[in-house]
Amino acid sequence: MHAEIVVLPGDGIGPEVTAAAVEVLRTVGRRYGHAFALREHPIGGAAIDATGEPLPEATLAACRKADAVLLGAVGGPKWSDPKAKVRPEQGLLALRKGLGLYANLRPVKPHAATLGASPIKPHLLAGVDLLVVRELTGGIYFGQKQRGADSASDLCEYSVAEIERVVRRACALARGRRGHVVSVDKANVLETSRLWREVAARVARDEFPDVTLEHQLVDSMAMHLIAKPRAFDVIVTENMFGDILTDEASMLAGSLGLLPSASLGEGKIGLYEPIHGSAPDIAGRGIANPVGTILSAALLLRHSLGLSDEADCIEQSVAAVLERGVLSADLAPGGRGASTAEVTAAVLAQLELPCQVAELRD
């Protein structure tokens, strides 16, 4: 297979972790006979410094032509003034909109070797395997905003079509898992949530009769996600609730550095990135955890390129490395862990060994 992949290193630790994922993709390409053309473009604060824009037109054009996009992180103290007219985060929002990406997938499957790094009791985490599907294009983040001398407002707005498509995506994903979807809203208070609940119920009933749909209020969901995380399979929710719940869910895995994400639209192209931020406090020190970005590369292979066996091999390799105790500073006791380069090298070495799935196909 030949594929065009745009790499957006971004800011902070973004260049360090994307470099690790690029090495993994190149190894997979060589090992299994694929030609991945990987080309870097600026985004975020780095793009503001270079061009004055958080998402240069050339970057967006390259992403639109690509088969997939791999992103590091955006933002940092240099560009952190919330009153600034141009901010790094605007680049990410504009990219999602420009590519028509409406569903953010965040899988959470804690590894046995990292359970001790989570503040949650290990017995609650064993066997957790859930997927949060967050709507990306609507809600309060994109509604009309007003600010006066004594008040401010943000409009939360959703269309039926926006709700239908993300619920369909969640239900379709559940079919390949355990067939259970929890739709999260605040229907006892918000009119947008009442619409959300009605549409979700109709889509599940009429189009996915084999999938079980349950409704949860977001406040109770925040409690249940910690108290009984094993009870959940696929969780679908609107933009702001999803932003909050996915950060909460990251604590189940023990570190933000472990978790990948995929942002998808109607076509094959997707945006793949770790869920962590740019972590400017550790940038340049060589201690960032590359696992979340490496696993994001696995999602890229699976969802955009259709290379599920190769994605499985990356995930198996990461699991084997964690099992051997090769843990970065965010996971290691006392913070004295393996460097970014050491974790990456361990994953690359593991990828050279026979893979349970892909070797069967060779």
Please report, for the chain, the start and end positions of each structural domain, with discontinuous segments joined by +: 1-106+257-362, 119-253
Our answer to whether residue 102 is catalytic in this structure is no
Residue type, 298: A
- Phi first, then psi: what are they for 307, rounded to 5°? -100, 70
Q: Kindly tell me the burial class for residue 63, based on how many C-beta atoms sit within 10 Å of its own C-beta (0-12, 13-18, 19 or more).
A: buried
pLDDT attached to residue 165? 97
Q: Mean pLDDT, to the nearest integer, of 216-221? A: 98
Band (357; pLDDT cuts 50, 70, 90)? low
Q: Mean pLDDT, to the nearest integer, of 261-265? A: 97
For domain 119-253, the CATH superfamily is Isopropylmalate Dehydrogenase (3.40.718.10)
Global confidence as pTM:
0.92
Residue 92, C-beta contacts closer than 8 angstroms, at least 6 positions apart:
43, 44, 54, 55, 71, 74
pLDDT attached to residue 119? 86
1-106+257-362 belongs to CATH 3.30.70.560: no
Judged against a pLDDT cut of 70, whether residue 287 lies above it is answered with: yes
Our answer to whether residue 243 is catalytic in this structure is yes
* Span between the terminal Cα atoms of the chain, in Å: 14
Q: Kindly tell me the burial class for residue 38, based on how many C-beta atoms sit within 10 Å of its own C-beta (0-12, 13-18, 19 or more).
A: middle
Our answer to whether residue 219 is catalytic in this structure is yes
The distance from CA 39 to its chain's CA centroid, rounded to whole angstroms, is 21
SS3 281: coil
pLDDT in tens, 118-162: 888 888 898 999 999 999 999 998 899 999 999 999 999 999 999
SS3 112: helix
Partners of 124 in beta bridges: none
Q: Which entry of 219, 228, 281, 362 is annotated as an active-site residue?
A: 219
pLDDT in tens, 60-85: 999 999 999 999 999 999 998 878 88
Q: Do 1-106+257-362 and 119-253 have matching folds?
A: yes
Token pair belonging to 302: 């699976």
Judged against a pLDDT cut of 60, whether residue 97 lies above it is answered with: yes
